[in-house]
Structure 1
């Protein structure tokens, strides 16, 4: 099987945007085509990762509209919805389209328009991904996060401050990301004194509601060698699910979808966690960064909470995590988040991340749907 390359990428400004989903998708798609130096007519396949344009905006058929808006007709189009892991699932679909030989030029565009809805309305749309048994009792993802955070902190005797340190780190990283929603530093005291949302988690433990889009252009490595000056390759990719009903899990602080998807990605790449130089993790809540660090194999169970507090995951640490600012600072437009994670890896691997640049040849992204219900892990390798 020929290796799959990424030859172009883009990311729009994340935050509150005066633009609808079609505009956001078209903006990212246009920029990615320009970055790859190809025309829309060169595309064989066009994927759109999007969770809820119908629910948020009353707009469906966004993939066909995008093909029209970009001039990509008659490319095959498909919308990919895997809740908040839609971006990662879109990457998997785009990778498959190239790896299978079905396409020689594929673009993925991820996007979501959310901020025009109230926080309560947006939370309710997102909560619809939970199992009906849990949903009817009023459980939402923030409430799951609070319950799991309490379980983790008590089980592993971890200090509450360790989660605050993750928020502080990711906000610091977001300062240097011109696309981030919140380019604002915070300190421990600010995080720990912010309003309680789901005890023990407070406002600054949660990512914001966000509009935005991002895009990636994929091609076989043999094509990339002909059309691109520089490119990165997908060394490994894996996807997995966990129980839909969270309370049926043997241990809610273990994310089996993360562990299994990363096992697949490591095996495909012929790598292990020690080969990864930096990572973009799905920190929708601060506790999720801790759980992923452990289930991806970077730390033993019960030790991941030390990572930010000890400086290991800082930008100048042994394993920089969320150099983009993460979902926490960068923002979380559901369908775009997984795509934006890989955009950050792409820029880092090409040495184009500006003030947030770190050293390394291998980057990993983990995009989580729901509370670990579905997960995609992607490993990228820099130019050889």
Structure 2
């Protein structure tokens, strides 16, 4: 069993370059705030993992594991690794840290996810992020690659099952509203009108195909850190903090699946079946099975990938709330609302909170841990005891899901 001792996340509204902050500065700030928040010392951490997608392209900086010892000499000699899986990089870093703890190599781990992306113009950022597609083989005619890719996913739904923009608009509206509750949300002060969530060419213009402005997750500078521990180390930590072991959140289950790099390959593979992305469904089911939870209704809230509204639309049904092609039912009946039967993205998600790519999977687990310990403040889901995450890299090429609970 792997426990979450706590963590910290940055303010996703900050523009680091504008503030004169380099990626190394942000890494150090995150690590130091995380240590302070948990009361841990560097010598208590035995292994370090970094989730980051494109540090080389945006910042000309790789080998980010070296920033642990660069931050504090107490980390000299600690083994470190950096993990890349596009938008699922942070979740892969958590999986690797968990594996080391479960194997008995180490009792404690620090997992830090980070991405700096607002230091270049938007079109260049879009080109950099396109590295997670099949370079030179798909979307070569798109101005904005990922809005186009997830428009194509929407078109696949439209062709197979039918799709109404009003349902995508409602997903965006919910996530922006949830983001207003979150003091770290990039969009917490943004203002909208009703037309902002409609197919309105002025208030919500088309970016690519079916994808409109409010359908898009944010380009974000941000970071998040969590500290993980074995049962033995967690028990010692709980005692030191005057807590019981059962007061600490733990990662009850996980799922991890991979698929082809090309979106067309994935869509062609599922053309004759009901589920558009069967491997995404499997990752969510595996996480609940390992957690001993029979179905999605044993979950109290979901932190899901909504890089675009079509991604969350897909996630609703693939996590088991509805049948294939029926996600609209959970949108129309309010199931995924903040006060609904199964709230989605109470944090605001990638649309409302922000999406620093390499940090997102770490942030999701941190928010899940906050929820199940009643520490999510204004975006707390009442009575939450089990929260599921769903983190997706590329066009569902890498999918990771965790169940966090007490």
Verify same fold: TM over 0.5: yes
Q: Select the residue among 194, 209, 212 that pairs with 1:202.
A: 212
* Stretch of structure 1 that moved more, 224-233 or 81-90: 224-233
* Stretch of structure 1 that moved more, 146-155 or 82-91: 146-155
State the distance in 2 between where 1:267 and 1:26 align.
37
State the distance in 1 between where 2:177 and 2:191 align.
5
SS in 2 for 1:368: strand
What are the within-5 Å matches in structure 2 for residues 334-349 of structure 1?
334-349=357-372
Change (3 A) 1:226 1:185: farther
Structure 1 residue aligned with 2:34? 32
Structure 1 residue aligned with 2:163? 158
Shift of 1:151: 2.6
Structure 2 residue aligned with 1:267? 289
Structure 2 residue aligned with 1:142? 147
What are the within-5 Å matches in structure 2 for residues 119-268 of structure 1?
119-135=122-138, 137-139=140-142, 140-183=145-188, 184=190, 186-192=192-198, 193=200, 194-228=204-238, 229=243, 230-249=247-266, 250-251=269-270, 254-268=276-290
Shift of 1:353: 0.9
Structure 1 residue aligned with 2:108? 105
1:115 aligns with 2:118: yes
State the distance in 2 between where 1:114 and 1:174 align.
20
TM-score, with length taken from structure 1: 0.95
TM-score, with length taken from structure 2: 0.90
Structure 1 residue aligned with 2:392? 368
| C-alpha contact 1:153 1:160 (8 A) present in aligned 2 | no
Shift of 1:154: 4.3
Shift of 1:199: 2.1
State the distance in 1 between where 2:131 and 2:351 align.
22
SS in 2 for 1:127: helix
Structure 2 residue aligned with 1:292? 315
Shift of 1:187: 4.5
| C-alpha contact 1:29 1:70 (8 A) present in aligned 2 | no
State the distance in 2 between where 1:89 and 1:165 align.
30
What are the within-5 Å matches in structure 2 for residues 54-73 of structure 1?
54-71=56-73, 72-73=75-76
State the distance in 2 between where 1:209 and 1:284 align.
10
Change (3 A) 1:232 1:145: same
State the distance in 1 between where 2:314 and 2:194 align.
20
Residues 21-77 of structure 1: per-residue CA shift (max 9 Å, x gap): 112222221122222211012111000100111110111221112232133122100
| C-alpha contact 1:47 1:90 (8 A) present in aligned 2 | yes
| C-alpha contact 1:175 1:185 (8 A) present in aligned 2 | no
SS in 1 for 2:137: helix
Structure 1 residue aligned with 2:44? 42
| C-alpha contact 2:6 2:366 (8 A) present in aligned 1 | no
| C-alpha contact 2:52 2:89 (8 A) present in aligned 1 | yes
State the distance in 2 between where 1:281 and 1:25 align.
24
State the distance in 2 between where 1:44 and 1:356 align.
33
| C-alpha contact 1:221 1:233 (8 A) present in aligned 2 | no
Shift of 1:332: 0.6
Structure 2 residue aligned with 1:79? 82
Structure 2: gaps of 5 or more residues: none
| C-alpha contact 1:243 1:373 (8 A) present in aligned 2 | yes
Residues 127-153 of structure 1: per-residue CA shift (max 9 Å, x gap): 111113534733522111112212313
State the distance in 1 between where 2:99 and 2:194 align.
43
- The size of the alignment, in residue pairs, is 380
Structure 2 residue aligned with 1:22? 24
State the distance in 2 between where 1:67 and 1:51 align.
21
Structure 1: gaps of 5 or more residues: none
Shift of 1:246: 1.2
